[in-house]
Structure 1
């Protein structure tokens, strides 16, 4: 793990994908460079900015001004905020708006928003005219450290999260940490779950650093940019080695099998944000691993204790309004994208920073574990 950045230092992390490589630009005020960077990447391109109502109210005018100052023509497409916009209906709206705006293959789409907007705009970009290039401008912590990097795009099905989509890499990511200043505390906390994930799955030293510095990350000190940079480097490395999740990249789904089922069980609603579901899923993954004798109870308790200390949910009773029963959750788990020929695959752990892919997990064992956790409500 590298030493923390000095305050104000910009960082550029490259995602090394040969002729499709791109930069993640991390720093306070990085949005100001968007116009110049786009002009260098695509001289003469028009831009369509896809955003949601909440983000557009805060950041659309500044984004348009940066583009205008660089001589770039732009149009805007604004959709309702929330997970509900990752739907067929909103996907159709965005695609039709891009076509109506006459966005051509040499133009660009800019995804200005959190993970929902990045996934939605990215999938529309992958589909319209059989592929438009796009730029990610993530405005949430979760998007800056996770969903904006790696090219996973998509929408939800009523049968599960992210079941419709495509791998479509951006050509640039601008992670302006100043945009996080307007983020509601709950959303920032939910994003922190993905930061903690990088330590828990593969970097025990980073997790120890987070245990000591998480309060400064939340407060907006220099630790915030450092944690974002470390997270982006970790994901960039994994994506470069395994772009389409045929092996190592699956480790990034630590907590997601349980988490996605719980998120779907909560109706993809504000009752359980995606990052909160990931935190709860990681807690369950560590406890399930301990139950299987893969790691010590002390390590599992340490992981859960840190997540709980930051205010993240770590028990099913933390979900307002409750969650479905064990059988219903198992039905949702069997829709997980890692299921192969009907066999469950989980990301489990042998210790802090020691995640591994565990194929062919016994469904009866998972169901019994979930039933036990639900009974503790």
Structure 2
């Protein structure tokens, strides 16, 4: 078993990674929690696959488990669904001594995580991500949130779990698009860190190769993210580099209205921002092409017609990462050399240059 320790000033936890680990859920959870009532939250796609198996494992070691399910999809990451789940926990008598386990992809992790953060001002949380995107990104670091209208993650909290359990075998039930989407975040972290992760990413030439190397890709990605989070838990400085590709990516995601996945828009966003900074001479020549090669190898999109939308700059300016009238743009000097450039919001259109975005 591979164990990554996340040590923060007020809270520490382990990320445990191993194929087949879902069958050990009872023992793993009982190592961090005493007997209590558990809300096992999953969506309509994941619940039929794993919820009963995990529930049985928890019950076998003495936990009382209530299974909750919500409709799969980003639309469920809402205040309405959050309220429904809160009502269900209240009706079933959950108290501050109980806990929530988020079993599923990124939507489940964000939604159930925010449920744990807000129910009775906070109850215990464990993350059990079943998608590649959730395993390498959203399950680690404590970000929880719901969307409001078309704005992603605008209502949320930093709320760290007590444990993260990752079973790479769950990736075998993903369709090709869902698997490849998560790989977009892996390429992002590889480009930020260089080293072993970038070297491994350079060897991935197909979706099947992602599955073959899933455990090591997850371990290296999560270790990098954990190191960043331990250095900057609340995104006051260093952690902002993890937003590479996200400012433009989130704008495209909002305009796509559900037609593009998060990892796909991050892929497009990374290429767009790198091309712009390379044309300005702030990024080493050839970096854009290196990114395109790694993303295109598995079928991730590297451009989008939505870059031509007249609304894209309004979405970019209104990004929740706008700080006191400035937008911090994360870019690369070179592979493994992230940097941040702060641009006044009113200058963002001229700086990014719509022609450059449409290249």
* TM tier, smaller: over 0.9
Is 1:364 aligned to residue 349 of structure 2? yes
Is 1:334 aligned to residue 314 of structure 2? no
After superposition, the Cα gap between the structure-2 partners of 1:106 and 1:339, relative to the gap in structure 1 and judged at 3 Å, is same
The runs of 4+ residues in structure 1 deviating greater than 6 Å are none
Q: What does residue 246 of structure 2 align with?
A: 256
Q: What does residue 215 of structure 2 align with?
A: 225
Q: What does residue 176 of structure 2 align with?
A: 185
Q: Show CA shifts across 1:320-344 (max 9, x none).
A: xx56723x11111122222112222
C-alpha separation between the residues in 2 aligned to 1:103 and 1:214?
47
C-alpha separation between the residues in 2 aligned to 1:80 and 1:64?
19
Q: What does residue 348 of structure 1 align with?
A: 331
C-alpha separation between the residues in 2 aligned to 1:127 and 1:333?
29
C-alpha separation between the residues in 2 aligned to 1:87 and 1:18?
30
Work out whether residues 160 and 261 of structure 1, in 8 Å CA contact, stay in contact via their aligned partners in 2. Answer: no
Q: What does residue 240 of structure 1 align with?
A: 230
Q: What does residue 5 of structure 1 align with?
A: none
Q: Show CA shifts across 1:116-165 (max 9, x none).
A: 00000011111110001110000100000110000000011224111110
For the residue of structure 2 that corresponds to 1:235, the secondary structure is helix
C-alpha separation between the residues in 2 aligned to 1:290 and 1:219?
28
For the residue of structure 2 that corresponds to 1:154, the secondary structure is strand
For the residue of structure 1 that corresponds to 2:45, the secondary structure is helix
Shift of 1:224: 1.6
**Larger displacement relative to structure 2 (162-171 or 35-44):** 35-44
Q: Show CA shifts across 1:334-365 (max 9, x none).
A: 22222112222110110111111111264133
Q: What does residue 13 of structure 1 align with?
A: 4
Q: What does residue 314 of structure 1 align with?
A: 302
Which residue among 34, 43, 54 is the counterpart of 1:52?
43
Which residue among 71, 86, 111 is the counterpart of 1:120?
111
Work out whether residues 242 and 249 of structure 1, in 8 Å CA contact, stay in contact via their aligned partners in 2. Answer: yes
Q: What does residue 172 of structure 1 align with?
A: 163
Q: What does residue 92 of structure 1 align with?
A: 83
Which residue among 321, 325, 330 is the counterpart of 2:309?
325
Q: What does residue 142 of structure 2 align with?
A: 151
Q: What does residue 206 of structure 1 align with?
A: 197
For the residue of structure 2 that corresponds to 1:54, the secondary structure is coil
What is the root-mean-square deviation in Å for CA atoms of aligned residues? 1.7
C-alpha separation between the residues in 2 aligned to 1:140 and 1:174?
12
Work out whether residues 141 and 160 of structure 2, in 8 Å CA contact, stay in contact via their aligned partners in 1. Answer: yes
Shift of 1:290: 0.5
C-alpha separation between the residues in 1 aligned to 2:32 and 2:352?
50
Is 1:285 aligned to residue 273 of structure 2? yes
Q: Show CA shifts across 1:175-194 (max 9, x none).
A: 01111110111000000011
For the residue of structure 2 that corresponds to 1:105, the secondary structure is coil
Q: TM-score, normalised by structure 1?
A: 0.91
Shift of 1:33: 2.1
For the residue of structure 1 that corresponds to 2:31, the secondary structure is helix
Which residue among 227, 234, 255 is the counterpart of 1:265?
255
For 1:123-134, what aligned pairs fall within 5 Å after superposition?
123-134=114-125
**Larger displacement relative to structure 2 (252-261 or 65-74):** 65-74
Work out whether residues 42 and 106 of structure 1, in 8 Å CA contact, stay in contact via their aligned partners in 2. Answer: no
Q: What does residue 291 of structure 2 align with?
A: 303
C-alpha separation between the residues in 2 aligned to 1:38 and 1:204?
33
C-alpha separation between the residues in 2 aligned to 1:301 and 1:23?
36
Work out whether residues 204 and 352 of structure 1, in 8 Å CA contact, stay in contact via their aligned partners in 2. Answer: no
C-alpha separation between the residues in 2 aligned to 1:334 and 1:354?
25
Q: Show CA shifts across 1:17-76 (max 9, x none).
A: 145100001010111222112222221111111110000011111111111221211001
Unpaired runs of at least 5, structure 2: none
Q: What does residue 275 of structure 1 align with?
A: 263
**Larger displacement relative to structure 2 (256-265 or 28-37):** 28-37
